[in-house]
A and B are shown apart, each in its own frame.
Chain A
Amino acid sequence: MKRNKLTIAVLAIMSFVAPAWAGGPGNVDVRNCTWCHGPSAQGYAPAPRLAGQRAQYIFNQLSSFNAHARDNPFSKIYMWPAAANLSPGAAHYLAVYLSSVPPKAAEDGNPALVGLGRAIYQGGVPDANVAACAACHGPRAQGVGEIPRLGGLAFAYLQGRLEQWREGYDASALHPMPHVARQLSSQQIAALASYLSFIK
């Protein structure tokens, strides 16, 4: 909670002293992101789409890589070094810029699982103590504030993120995701990732 308030405070301060870099895709920090996340930040292989992601969420994740809290293997290999020398000002600039790029849906899930995924996302599985994702992530999976947009992210990324929480990675992530993921079966995770990948 404290960390949260701090990052919100940092964001608030930084928005008044925004850096005077050249904006957009030519910015050197943006280019460092798009090497892996795709030329318009739509995601590429294991690197998730950043376009259209919530600015506060991007900023918090960069802080989390910097603090070595988000500790799954790809994060360690790629994002710990990438975030190591990023100033709060640069992180803020990236978060705001990337959130402003229009996102495209990956649409790469299993269409046969979309119905099950929609039911879990919108209504949860009360008998199995699985909370409805929509309560926090929104009915269109658009996210809000520090809660990420999930709609249109790639199947493999969504599946991997939930599986990693289940395996114990990134255990200090904001309540309640590590706990929620542990309530899900592999099939339910595949269904959620499929459904979300098609949301525009």
Chain B
Amino acid sequence: MGASRSLGQFYPVDSPLHALDPRAKILAVALLVLGLFFVKEIEGLILMAVVLLAGVAVSRVPIGVFFKLPGPVLFIVVFTALFQALFSHQGEVLFGWGPLEVYGGGLRVGVFLALRIVLLVWAAGLLTATTGPVALADGLEDLLSPLKKIRFPAHEAAMMMTIALRFIPTLQEEASRITRAQAARGAGFDEGGPIRRARSLLPILLPLVIGAFRRADELADAMESRGYRGGVGRTRYRELRFGLKDALALAVTVIVVAILISL
């Protein structure tokens, strides 16, 4: 079958970023995202973009992967920018066509918001591209484990996340197979108005949902038959080790974000 790759997927190469402890990476990305919301000026965001691009360079993941990342949210990005540019009347009028006028301030805000969304996606992408799903879940479980004291099911939450991530490519593959099977029976998915188009998805969605339930059942049985009984007393094959380089990476992130915010 075709080697299809989804966006935001782990990109297995060797790099200093891949080698970092997932907990360090999760915290660093959380800091960067937090920083994105405190930066007030467009110049700050451009600096943030430079920082993230430096991260991409270090990660040895081809930059093209990141340019494709905002694809699914492109509509929101463009809409946000246009909306602000056209309807936020700040600063002076730059140009206008009849009733539509673009104000300097509005354009600035529009570009600022759009850039912020793109950078959010990039920051998250940098984490998922350099961290395998299992490492990601392990890291998250460790970071959430203090919450176990207030009875938050950290292990279960992390396990659910691992399974969800693990099944994204599987479901994509299955959706593509069912689509082709229905196409072989003459199904068309790109004709007619929106209602007809939505209806034409039924022959794909129904088998997909039925298949997902079957898979969930099978997975639960397979896990139980291999002795899985939840997180209590469960050890790990790969222990996470938070070393000097992880502390350093985190410290650098803290400093960078602090500088960006104080600008």
Same assembly:
no
